[in-house]
Chain A
């Protein structure tokens, strides 16, 4: 599974746990940042390489809800998972078109299941999945002469 994931959370314990879980599952490096502003700057500079964003609602500088709004306005296809310890954020997440809401405390199977389900949904849409984008970037072979 060639999936590039960005995790934005200022809680180091939660962030490190999520990184280990995601890195083990995807066997890919995971980008981590602590503030919404840093997350937005990174996405503006290297966002094309990021397939999925997992951000907490309460992060410094720019909160996760604001980051969600900006990301979806900029690229509605980018997968965004909002995590929060506040159940009220779920309604806002729906309004801002988040792909998933992960209520804290969450477990290993919650995190893995939401990633697997969102990738499955993305792959079912032709041309918009992380793996299909990877396939599209493969060099085309020249047609063999008849």
Chain B
């Protein structure tokens, strides 16, 4: 029997932060898949739209989330770093929604999407270390 997911001591119900982080990773995978030219079908587009909407609406307290990523229990002070990351995540969600709705995506828009995606991934990698880079290879 295959066994995946959290290890025994850390097994628990999924909370809002778990869901949001997982959906953020899914959003990154969706964006990467589109930029790599994966065929977009009806169900794929619908999944992209729903996921992007959720991420966009839930991107409200990323300062606390970044501390959860860094396993730091301290309450953060608002800073420019958090604000920029928050804006980039929202922007990516908007970009993915546009793709899912079939809006025309020219080369400039794709380049902007790729740049935004790279910045978000870079921030996550620097925050969590190399151990979590594997999820970026799923797409």
Chain A residues in the interface with B (C-beta under 8 A): 11, 13-14, 16-17, 19-21, 23-24, 26-30, 83-87, 90, 93-94, 97-110, 112-114, 117-118
Contact = CB atoms under 8 A, between A and B. Distances in A.
B6 to A, nearest CB: 5
Interface string B2-36: 11111110111111101101110110011001000
A104 B2 contact: no
B44 A105 contact: no
Nearest to B50: A20
Contacts of B44: 23-24, 27
Interface of B: 1-8, 10-16, 18-19, 21-23, 25-26, 29-30, 33, 39, 41-44, 46-48, 50-51, 54, 134-135, 138
A93 B1 contact: yes
A104 B48 contact: no
A15 to B, nearest CB: 11
Contacts of A106: 4-6, 14, 22
Given A20-B47, A23-B44, A103-B11, A13 B29 contact: no
A13 B19 contact: yes
A109 B4 CA distance: 10
16 contacts: A13-B16, A16-B50, A17-B23, A20-B47, A84-B11, A101-B1, A101-B2, A102-B5, A103-B8, A104-B5, A105-B6, A105-B15, A110-B4, A113-B138, A114-B2, A114-B4
B29 A103 contact: no
Given A13-B19, A93-B1, A24 B51 contact: yes
Question: Most B CB atoms within 10 A — which of A29, A98, A107?
Answer: A107
A28 B19 CA distance: 22
Nearest to B19: A13
A103 B6 contact: yes
Contacts of A108: 22, 25-26, 29, 135, 138
B7 to A, nearest CB: 7
Contacts of B11: 84-87, 103-104
A82 B22 CA distance: 19
A96 B108 CA distance: 54
Nearest to A112: B138
A84 B85 CA distance: 32
Contacts of B19: 13-14, 17
